[in-house]
Amino acid sequence: MSNPLLDTLLLSSKIESSEDYDATYESLPVVVAESTKDLDSAFAKLDEAGGHGYIATWRKNLFAFNTKLLSKRYGLIDENGNLLKAARVPKN
């Protein structure tokens, strides 16, 4: 089954396809959440991936996402691969 958000996202030069996640952005995992009802599963996937990464959503649905309520570990990108909120990754 095709996912239009993921298909559009993969057209961006900033996004790479991934076998383990929906995609990657700057080597961090990206999971697709087309709406707020998909957030719980997106958070679960990112937790399994080490707890840091990006959630991709449609820019038109951004008003439904309160970026202040997203953990600082998770960033947010739109369907074109544009960074809306950076993920804070600990320096090792």
Question: Please, is 42 exposed, middle or buried when counting C-beta atoms within 10 Å of its C-beta (0-12, 13-18, 19+)?
Answer: buried
Position 40 scores a pLDDT of: 85
pLDDT tens, residue by residue, 13-65: 999 998 989 999 988 999 998 888 888 888 899 888 888 899 999 888 777 76
Residue 62 CA to residue 81 CA, distance in Å, equals: 14
Q: Are strands 23-25 and 28-32 parallel, antiparallel or unpaired?
A: antiparallel
What residues have CB less than 8 Å from 26, skipping those under 6 apart?
Answer: 14
Position 32 scores a pLDDT of: 92
DSSP 34: S
Which pair of tokens denotes residue 88? 């804070």
**1 pLDDT higher than 60:** no
